[in-house]
Structure 1
Amino acid sequence: METVQVKTKDVTYEVVLGEGAIGTLPQVVDALSPSVTSVFYLIDETVYEKFESIIKAFAPKHKRIFWHVLPAGEKVKTFEVYQEVLGAALNAGLDRQSLIIACGGGATGDLAGFVAATYMRGIRFIQLPTTILAHDSAVGGKVAINHPLGKNMVGSFHQPTAVIYDIDFLKTLPACEIRSGFTEVIKHAMIADDSFLVELMQSINTLEEIDPTYLSRCLKRGIEIKASIVEQDERELGIRAYLNFGHTYGHAIEAWAGYGKWSHGEAVMVGIIYALLISKELNNIPFNIHSFINWVKKLGYEVSPPDDASFDELATLMLKDKKTIAQEIRLVILKSIGIPSLQKVTIEQLKEIDHIIRKM
């Protein structure tokens, strides 16, 4: 079992990572102070169908426990589901010493964390992620739901009490979920560790048969990179924006398609390529982008936006990005691999790169 400590100005917590990590959940809950009065599981319906017996076997003992099954995927992050869950929490009689446990992928964690942040002005929650993608979203305390006009536009910063990441849950993930999650591993290498990126490109030839031990190592390194950034900038006032590398264009694709039509990670991979092309144009980064594109194609990723998503439509959505200030789009791009920056980019520059990426 591995652990990574996340330390912010006000909170310190651990990410427990490894096969069988769920077994540590009861003792983690029992050690909390003040003691937990009740536990409210918010659990993805697919995860519940596959793993109900395992999850219930390791539920905290001698607690009032409630279960609420959520829709799978991005459709959980709506005002309607948020209101429904608040009602369920009130009906269960949760108080300020209750605990929410988010059990599912990144979308489940985002919704559950936002409920925890706003219920009675904030109660504790634990992330129990079940996807590769959630190695990123479960750490750092950014919680949110979507608005039809923008992804994660309604949210808060609310750090979890703990993250328990059991690698065994990942063994049944479909290929599209593996690709979606592994994008964030690649992103972390891109913004913080050039040698890690080289290793990934040399070691990973397929995402369908990754050795669990090596996958665990990759996820731990990604969590370490994110934890380091979050510790320096918890509320995204500066360098935490670097974690959005590839996300501005990627989120625009997600919003254009309708949340859930393109997986988050597969849309962000197109955004990463878009950001790399802009980095080459503006900063002349010393990186073989075509070699990278050939590699991710081999891993099964799309490398261009949908043909019928016009640049004007995507640009309108990018203007709603949280990094946009005074109608000026700011993108996370690279000075070189491992050295990101946040730069203003004109509509003309964005359009030029959009034209290039559509030929990939």
Structure 2
Amino acid sequence: MFDFTDEASGHEKCFMTIAQLPGFIDPKQVPSKKSPFSAILNQPFAHTAEVILPENVYTSIQASLDDELNKPQSARVFMCPSDLLEHEFFNAYIKSGNILMISEGRAGSDNVFTLHDGILKIELGREIFERTGLTGKPIRSGGRKHQKDRFLIELNLRLPSMLHGKKGFDRIVWAFKNVLNQSLAWLFCDLELTIGNQATKPITKHCPQMIDSDVLKSKLDRIHTPPLHGLVSNDMSEEDMQESCGSLSEWIAMVQLGSPRVSADDDVDPYLSRYRVPGADAASTMDLISLKWHGLISAKWIMQLFLCLLPSSAWFVLSTSALGKQAVEGRDGFTIAAAPNIYSSVASRANDREASESNNRYAICWEFVGATAIEK
């Protein structure tokens, strides 16, 4: 009778990209606009990262992972928004440093703060937004379509005008002290953790509870693994390519869940489950290793993990789950499957030959996006 819901809030999408990986990647100049690197960098807040790879490959790269990759560290602190603008904290972490922060609260209903690359985003309800006196824009919240109930304020705190004593900055200070003055629980991550003495950092006055994201290693014995050689090719139709990649994505999800259906020793009655590993006739049995990290994990750390895995000659899967920052159209995470020979290119028939690209490595990237607007 009444249209209280947003029809688009029930839709989810998965964007799939197949890309050739460069032969050499400079860690200081990562190709940020090309998949799968763009998928990693576009997700600054993650709470889980998982890697799945063959056990023999993990044995060969374990030492390099331990030496080159520090475990992700974060902290839980209680702070008022005004504490972000205190001289010592503001100068050390925002103006000259680089941190990630995300407050408690559920997007779409609560006041939510996020800080990334010096940009502070604040999601508020209409009443509180109007009281702050700050400039913002209406956003969708999954509720009534034509009623603007939620607003987003974006503040670039690294602009030269963002200084104490400036008129625009003093308006923000006033709003934080008089309207947005509630103490909140935050997750805090210093992206330049190795610089300076941590005991003297400004965050220590807020009594942070440190969170060490130790790796959780699990061995997956005798997993029925589909063949990746020639999984997709340029002579495939779009429907066949989607089906082939979708079957691989389903297999990855079942391995992550620890489903017995992917075990080589599984003997379930076909009446109860008709699932078969894709390419079961050519599938092989191997022991896999799952590496999983939990906590506030930055895109910078995930990129370092990805670059550490690339030199291995075999396949691997990297997936992350994002912390929800948007009630509608939010990024939920991604999965990257990288392997040699995963894509085969067939030359034109005029040449009467086939061109094999066996020396090239390709990656299939699935980006998962929450409820997305429908074009009408």
- Shorter-chain TM band: under 0.3
TM-score w.r.t. structure 2 length? 0.22
Q: TM-score, normalised by structure 1?
A: 0.22
More helix by share: 1
**Structure showing greater relative contact order (alpha-carbon pairs closer than 8 Å, 6 or more residues apart):** 2
Asked which structure has the greater CA Rg, the reply is 2
